[in-house]
Structure formats: structure tokens, C-alpha cells
Amino acid sequence: MSAAPMHAWVGFDEEQGARMRAAAEEVGVLAETLMLPATLYIDTSNSTGMEGEFEGRLDGRPYNAACFDIDKDGLKDLMLTQAPQAAWRTEHFDGNGTPYLEERTGEFFWQNGVPNDPYDLGTIYADFDNDGWTDIYVPNRGQTGHRLFRYNPELIEVSKNVFKVGGFEDVTTATGLRNLSDPSHQKTTLGSWVDYDGDGDVDLLINVHNAQAPYHSVTQVLLRNDPTPGGTSRIFTDVTAATGFVTSPHIGSTLWADFDGDSDLDIVMVDYGGPGSSGPHSSYQENKVNETGFFQVVTNSKLFDRERLNGDTFAAISDVDNDGDLDIVYTKGEIVGIFRNDNGVLAGDLETVVVENADPRDIDVFDFELDGRMDVTVSNSVPFPFLLRNNPDAVYAASFQQVTDNAGVSVNQRTERVCAADFNLDGFTDLFLSRQDDHSFFFKGKDEFTEPDNKWVGVRLVSPGGTNNHHGIGARVVITPFGGDPRAQIVDGGKIGPSQGDLDLVFGLGDHNGIFAIDVYWPDGTTQQFFEYEKNRYYTINESAPLIDDQSVTFDVAFHLDTGLVDWIFTWDTITHPGDPQTDEVEFDLTGLPWSCHPARTTIAAVDADVDVSIAQVNGLWRHTLTWHASDCLAACSIPFTVRTGLSGFTSESTGHSAYFEICLQ
């Protein structure tokens, strides 16, 4: 398989561009495919445990492949929407870092039975009740209608010597989604999660099915998520009219982001065309709900060149030019282009890329080579997917060029949906590409034994018991290397008919070796900033809990002259929150240490009788001091340790440090 011809035309209108393309093709002048320094992907489909199961089994189009941790075991799983629904659990990784998956659908959906409807169109996921477990919404354009499944860890069944604990339960009726004022609104083609009012829980925007155009919408419905009286469950209420939300037909992508920087999530809806579509239907609404109570249409004044988004268009949100705000990348037929964000004004970039004979089905944006620039992956029905690299040597701030073959993603067959996620948490984003009526493909991002040429940082947001939704959906995260350009990403709540990005964010740093800043802009307006140094790891950032400043960790001793014993004194600072000092603890790593260097215990904690803890605010941070009284002095020993502070079930842990005893008095 060879890559489709790729052309870049800068500064021409459509008619001029067509003439230039024709002239170039006539004389055989084609833009060269950019060469990569190394293969980025390896086809490991046969190692996933799925290919044989998939062969000949997919009775209908796999509309969606969602990658998230279903059972909170720390490993990403795979949820496929087809007939029937299929949940694949990551059991372990092979020597190459490829996940081995086993189908566990019956274990996750045992209470209401496995969803088995050919009109199910996808899966979007969020923790709608903020209980720490991920729930799923399944759009359906048939008689069954849409469904909401809540993961309930307390479901228990004992029958026929089978013991089942935990699983998805159908709460469509209980949450009001089965009883919407207009029964036709139960038939949907997509959904997106968003905390539009910043009240700490995710709301739901649904695209209502158009019977005359099976894969396109006729309208949208905005559903606010509220607690029921007593706060024991949740209920969704139609607030479309009450908020002034303006609907539009023929919409295929819904993009929520704070485009204008006022801390409220705005929306751009992108036209997908279809029968009866005269377009353009794409629109831009700024969210002024917390100011005026309403959304405000700004399409004409702040979405320039929207005709470029008219018909057969898929779109995603990304900071493609490294200025710290969020732009839009779109694919329309053979065109891949950008709408740049300048203080909330979105304008179509003159530069576009043409992939001949393309018929896109999905788009995702991530940095597949970790050089600090966001790249593009597009699934394609005629006949193969393509990868576009954000060329760092371009004259303009973003210029995409074809690298499909060089990247190692050689699939000479149609693909439907993209699921891009870092399954084994090595920084390399893996690719699952679903196919219609045949086995799918899994491409591993390099392998776990390959040190990345470029540095990276992973960010995972959580807000247990805080003022934001549990996963931080809608939050903007900005990484800024010291002396470098900022790069932003959003925690995605669903965007394309229907599809959703990984909730874990991976940022490429290139060859940067110094300090970098992490700025988090939560949906309720809360902001956090951290300065870190360690690369090639994930940082879990908790909106309502402490985060240990790793560079503040110290160790000291206080001598008891009468006994020769010492007090071991550990100090560290926490950022954003003091945490619960009663959770403070120190753990020693005794691996490889001689017995003479082993302390009396491997863990010392605030709750121990011979341990005291204190906390004081110092320079805007919280200084924790943990003192282990009257323990042994271990001369000439260097003992590795980590410190921890927690709050409400969340624990922040430092990296490894050393407790070194230079001298002892006895």
C-alpha cells in the first residue's frame, strides 16, 4: 500500500487552488511525503487476543471504540459498540507492551443483559453521578432508543454457584432519559458530556435522530444533570429552551471548549450534510449561562469561513499552533484544515492539505512522535487511514504532511473509528482502528523497551468530592516548558457521531530537559499551577486534594545524647491543599540494602504511637513534618524512601528520596 498523494496549497482561494493542483499534476509535481526518523507504530493485532474472535463476527458497522478503565484496575479496557455490545478487558501486556484483551461483556452487563441492538451507534463515557466509577451513554436511532448505563460496584448476584460483583445497570428510566417531553428525542445519533453550568457534574447534549437521513441529526437537546430531592440519585432535565441554546440540523460533530477564555464551555457544532441539507449549518455559541442565563450565537462575528465546515465534515479540538488556546482541526472529503483560535475568534486557515480520494470516518488529534506538536489521525473508508504529521519545520505555525507508510500504519483497507489511547502508560499513544464486518487493527506505539527519543508528560485529572466532575471533563490543561511554547489539550467529553478521546492526556516535550509548568483550568473556573521537573511519567492532579512538591522533600535527624537514638524527621510541602495530616506516611524501599541498614519498620505513619505530625503554611504551601521518635541511628546508610499525603481516598506520593546517616553518636 502506498500513501495517497498529498498537496499543500497556501494562500489560494478554491478556484485558484484547483487550477494549481491541475497544473501540478499535469507536470508531475507532487508534494513529497515527509520522512520520519523512525517507525512509530507496529501492527500487533495478532497479539491482542481479539483478531480471531473478530473474524467474521461483526454483523454491523462498529460505530465506536471507546478506551477507558471499566473496572478501576488501573488498565484501559475497550468497549465496542456493535450488535451485540462488546466489552474487552485488558488482562496483561505481552513483552512488546501490547495489551492482551479478553471479552468480559457478560461480566459487565449481567444485570440487564448484554445490549444487543443493531441501531446502537456508539459509547461516550463519564462519571455522571460522581461516585468514582465510569458510566456510559449509548445513542440509539431505533425503537429501543438511547440508554444510560451506570456502573454500580455494589451489584451482587449469587446463582448456580456463580458469584458476581459490580457491573452496569440500565438507569435510563430512573434518570428521566426515558421520559423526555418529546418521545422522539429518545432516538439519538450522538451525545457529548459537558458541565456547561460549572456546577460540578456533567450534563448531556444529545443529537436527535433524523428518520429521513439515518446518520444525521434533526435537532439537539441539552439536558441538565441535577440531584433528585434528597440527593440519592440524578435526574436529567431538558433546558434547551430555558438556556436559549440554538439547535441546528445535520450536525455530526459537537465541540465543547472554552474558546474565549472566560472559564465557561462554549460550543461549535459542525455540519455533516446529508439529504435535504442546503447548509451551511455549522454554528458557534458562546456560553453566557452564568452571566445572563443564556447561550449567545456568535457564528457570524466569530466563526469566519464557516462554509468550509459545510457537509461531510468531522472535527476535533487541538492546540495545533502551540499558543496555549484551543483550535479546531477538521476533515471534509479530501481536505484537512484548521480553524485557528485568536481570543475566541475562529477563522479558517488558508493552508489546507489534500488527501486524494479520501472519505473520512473519524478524526483524532494527538502527538504521536512526542515532539511537542499535535498530529492528526483520520480513519478512512476508501480505502485506508492516514496519519498527518505537524511539521516543525513549516514556515507557518502548523503544516500537516502525510507520514502514514513511514509511521508503520499500513492498512490497505477501510477503517471506521479511531480509538487512540496509551494502553500501557509508556507515553506512546496506541491506535485501535475498527472495521466493518471484519477484524480490526491494533497498532502499538513503538514498544515498552524503546526509550522515547523525545520526552513526554502524562496528565490525569480527578476531582473526588471536589467542585468539578470526577474526570475533569471540559478542563483545559496547558504544559509550558521553561523557555518554550505552551501547548494545550482538553479533557474530551465526546465529539463525533459518536466518538471520544482518551481522558488521560499525553504531552510531547521534544528534547526539553528542564522545568515545565502544568496549568489546569477546571470547568468551574478553578485554576491550578504546578512546576515539575521529572519527565516520562504521569501526573495525577486532584482538584480538591494535595499534591506533593517533590523538590521540597527533606530528611534530617535529631540526636538523643543520653541514648544514642535519633528522631527521624521528614518534611515536605503540598500544593493547593493541606490534605489530611493523619494520612501522612513514609515508606522505605529496602531492596538490596544490607540488614544493618534496615529500619525497624518499612512504613511509618501518622497513626503510629511513636510518630508525630504537624502542618504549617509556608509561602503559600503547606509544610508537613513527620517525626519518628527514638529510633535507631543507622551509620553510613542511605535508605530510599517515599512520602505520602492523602485526602478523601486520594493519595499523592513523592518520587524516591534517600535518608542518609552520615554519623551516629554511639
With CA atoms as reference, report the closest residue to 579 among 526, 649, 519, 524: 649
Residues 515 and 574 in one domain: no
Q: How many whole angstroms separate alpha carbon 360 and alpha carbon 394?
A: 25
pLDDT tens across 256-299, in order?
Answer: 999 999 999 999 999 876 655 566 688 999 999 999 999 999 99
Q: Which amino acid is at 265?
A: L
Residue 183: cis peptide before it, omega within 30 degrees of 0: no
Q: Which amino acid is at 572?
A: W
Residues 400 and 511 in one domain: no
Residues 423 and 478 in one domain: no
Q: How many whole angstroms separate alpha carbon 293 and alpha carbon 244?
A: 8
Residues 399 and 476 in one domain: no
Residues 337 and 434 in one domain: no
Average pLDDT over residues 202-217: 76
Residues 171 and 66 in one domain: yes
Per-residue pLDDT at 25: 37
Average pLDDT over residues 209-222: 72
Per-residue pLDDT at 22: 41
371 within a domain of the structure (yes/no): yes
15 within a domain of the structure (yes/no): no
Number of domains into which the chain is organized: 4
232 within a domain of the structure (yes/no): no
Cβ atoms of 204 and 223 closer than 8 Å: yes
Q: Is the pTM of this model over 0.75?
A: yes
65 within a domain of the structure (yes/no): yes
29 within a domain of the structure (yes/no): no
212 within a domain of the structure (yes/no): no
Domain holding 59, by residue range, is 44-186+416-445
Per-residue pLDDT at 275: 55
Residues 403 and 431 in one domain: no
Q: Which amino acid is at 496?
A: I
pLDDT tens across 442-500, in order?
Answer: 888 875 555 567 899 999 999 877 689 999 999 999 999 999 999 999 999 988 666 78
Per-residue pLDDT at 530: 84
DSSP 355: E
Residues 66 and 173 in one domain: yes
Q: Which amino acid is at 13?
A: D
Burial (CB count within 10 angstroms: exposed 0-12, middle 13-18, buried 19+), residue 70: buried
DSSP 84: S
Q: How many whole angstroms separate alpha carbon 130 and alpha carbon 14?
A: 48
Give the CATH number, domain containing residue 534.
2.60.40.10
Task: Please identify which residue in the block is written with the cell numbers 430531592.
Answer: 229
SS3 562: coil
SS3 366: strand
**481 grid coordinates:** 516548558
Residues 368 and 486 in one domain: no
Q: Which amino acid is at 277?
A: S
Q: How many whole angstroms separate alpha carbon 640 and alpha carbon 202?
A: 42
Q: Which amino acid is at 551?
A: Q
Per-residue pLDDT at 101: 86
Q: Who has greater pLDDT, 412 or 534?
A: 534
608 within a domain of the structure (yes/no): yes
Task: Please identify which residue in the block is written with the cell numbers 500537516.
Answer: 400
Strands (E) located in 482-565: 487-490, 505-510, 516-521, 527-532, 537-542, 547-559
Residues 431 and 472 in one domain: no
211 within a domain of the structure (yes/no): no
Residues 158 and 113 in one domain: yes
How many angstroms separate the most distant Cα atoms in the chain? 95
Residues 182 and 48 in one domain: yes
pLDDT tens across 565-601, in order?
Answer: 899 999 999 987 888 899 999 999 999 999 999 999 9
Cβ atoms of 578 and 553 closer than 8 Å: no
For residue 311, which phi and psi values (nearest 5 degrees)? 85, 130
- 354-376 burial, b at 16+ Cβ within 10 Å, e below that, comes to bbeebebbbbbbbbbbbbbbbbb
DSSP bridge partners of 234: 227
